[in-house]
Amino acid sequence: MASSSVFLSVLCMIFILFCQPFPPAKSDENLIESLCSKTEEPVICSDCLNSDPTSKAADAHALGLIAVRCAEYDATQLYEVVSNLSLNISGGTPFKTVLDGCSEKMLEAKDDFTGVLRSAEAMDYSTAKGIITDQIQPLANWCLDQFDKLPDLLPVPSMVLAGTEAVNQDCKILLGMLDNI
């Protein structure tokens, strides 16, 4: 009788020990560092990934999706800046014309991140990279190209320059990550 109660006690202890939920996975900083080190902007890459709390337990695929969302956010910010600048300029000036065009191009560019995200979610990284290089980057750079064509008449607003640089950096980071996932 005593041996059966000892057996039951041991069995209960084993059950209690092994039925406890496992501790949550801790952040794999090595994975973030490894992926970001293969990009042109490892610090910005790391900052982006670490800004999302889900990165703490994410695999490489999920980290890629986080990076897409960071880039999409920056493209949306640039669109809003350009759109607001355009709305606050009176019509008929070359500056207004360029800003209107920039606003249209950035609207397209930010919307194209939906295709990048869908492709990346489906692990179709080749298509995601194609959208970035063939669609988003040319649309984002169109604006600066227009200002370059008329440098004496049209100074590039600093927020447009900084926003375009951020989107270009994000695209480079994404391309580097998608090549290594």
CA distance 159 to 161: 5
Question: Where residue 154 falls among pLDDT bands split at 50, 70, 90?
Answer: confident
pLDDT tens, position by position, 35-56: 999 999 999 999 999 999 999 8
| Tokens of residue 125, six digits | 């990284």
Percent over 90 (pLDDT), the chain? 73
Q: Among 26, 45, 25, 47, which Cα is nearest to 35's?
A: 45
Q: Quick: pLDDT tens for 103-118.
A: 999 999 999 999 999 9
For the chain, domain boundaries: 29-179
Using CA of residue 62, residue 63, residue 67, residue 69, what is the dihedral sign? positive
Q: Is the pLDDT of residue 123 over 50?
A: yes
Choices 3.30.365.10, 2.40.128.90, 1.20.1200.10, 1.20.140.40: CATH for 29-179: 1.20.140.40
The yes-or-no verdict on residue 79 having pLDDT over 70 is yes
Q: The pTM is what?
A: 0.81
Q: Specify the higher pLDDT residue, 72 or 10.
A: 72
* Helical (H) or strand (E) element with 81: helix 60-87
CB 131 within 8 A of CB 112: yes
Spatial distance between the Cα atoms of 150 and 148, rounded to a whole number of angstroms: 5
Q: Is the pLDDT of residue 136 over 50?
A: yes
Which pLDDT score, from 0 to 100, does residue 24 have? 36
Confidence of residue 21 (pLDDT cuts 50, 70, 90): very low
pLDDT band at 94 (very low <50, low <70, confident <90, very high): confident
